[in-house]
Amino acid sequence: MSVTRIFFATDVHGSEHVWRKWISAASIYKASILMLCGDLTGKAIAPLVLDKDGIVHCHVFGKDYNFRNDEKKIEEMKSKIRFSGYYPYVCNEEEVRKLERTPTKVDRLFEELMVEELERWLGMLEEKLSEDVKVYMSPGNDDKFVIDPVIEKCERVIYPVGKMCNPCYDYEMITCSWSNPTPWSSPRECSEKIIGEKLEREFKRVNNSERLLCNFHCPPYGTRLDICPKIDEKLRPVVRFGQVTTIHAGSKAVREFIETHQPLMGLHGHIHESYASEKIGKTICINPGSEYTEGILRGFIVDLTRDGVKAYWKVEG
């Protein structure tokens, strides 16, 4: 029996260490399809500031790093910064003062670094990945819109947003990168009503829901896939009797869509803590979760045959 293996991961948030592991997952797990869907980019810039005395200063991960200006040491520091998903930026003290005075310049620089680093990542696919492996990449709610054209123009990657894709055999896949509202007001979030409209618009592309994979970044509400800490108005976890209070934070519109249309699978992410799978009716829903700050790659392996899902299981490393 012919089997096609998918390795599905999400929420790397700019961690180059996890990205490199994801590329390697194709050969390690013998996957013919690699998917990285949602929240690809990092969250902050980490300046390496060169002073007049030739010393480089960097404050990151709660620590101060100070060292003599040396190309090798700077590259080592950049690698350390990229490990956890920040963007290194070498500058001088005057540049820092100008950026501090003009927040719009910081935003523009952040987007430039985001694009630059993503282009560098995509270049690694040509170097390190077999031509036989099919690659899908899509953004998530935290990703700014400047990255979409970067993915679209990469010939090595299939950008699945706004289209119906055919991963293998006669299976179909539709994509939605948006989430319901979050406390962080991320770039791609909207009301449940609008999410529902987006999902139904994508469903119009579908020929057979029984052969459908739904690459929806936001997981369905009220499942093991969407449990996360409750936070207060200062974005701190709520603790009661020594225990962190948890809530369901997924999308009710995604849940309603799955209950109504019963696709073959739901491929989700967004909630890092909910590394789980669950069935909603006939639909298998998975969320690999994320531990990108620790450099850990989490993923799901899905084995598809012409008859359906042969097996699926979670891995990490």
Angle between helices 93-101 and 103-128 in degrees, nearest 10 = 120
The DSSP call for residue 231 is: B
**pTM of the predicted model over 0.75:** yes
Task: State yes or no: pLDDT of 160 exceeds 90.
Answer: yes
Confidence of residue 279 (pLDDT cuts 50, 70, 90): very high
* Separation between Cα atoms, residue 281 and residue 223, nearest integer Å: 12
Rounded Cα distance, 297 and 102, in Å: 36
Q: Give the pLDDT of residue 151.
A: 98
Q: Looking at residue 292, what DSSP letter applies? A: G
Give the Å distances, CA to CA, from 253 to 41, 80, 242, 250, 258: 25, 39, 33, 9, 9
Beta strand ranges found along 101-249 (DSSP E): 134-138, 172-176, 212-216, 227-229, 239-240, 243-244, 246-248
- State what percent of residues in the chain have pLDDT above 70: 100
The mean pLDDT of the chain is: 97
Question: In the predicted model, what is the mean pLDDT of residues 14-24?
Answer: 98
Reply yes or no on whether the pLDDT at 1 is more than 80: no
Domains of the chain, residue spans = 4-43+113-316, 44-102
Mean pLDDT of 252-278: 98
Model confidence band, residue 217 (pLDDT cutoffs 50, 70, 90):
very high
Average pLDDT over residues 123-130: 94
Closest CA to 248 of 287, 294, 214, 212: 287
Which CATH code fits 44-102? 3.30.420
- Name the CATH superfamily, with its identifier, for domain 4-43+113-316: Metallo-dependent phosphatases (3.60.21.10)
113-122 pLDDT, tens per residue?
Answer: 999 999 999 9
Contact 191, 284 (CB under 8 A): no
3-state secondary structure of 40: coil
Judged against a pLDDT cut of 90, whether residue 234 lies above it is answered with no
Q: What is the mean pLDDT of residues 242-255?
A: 96
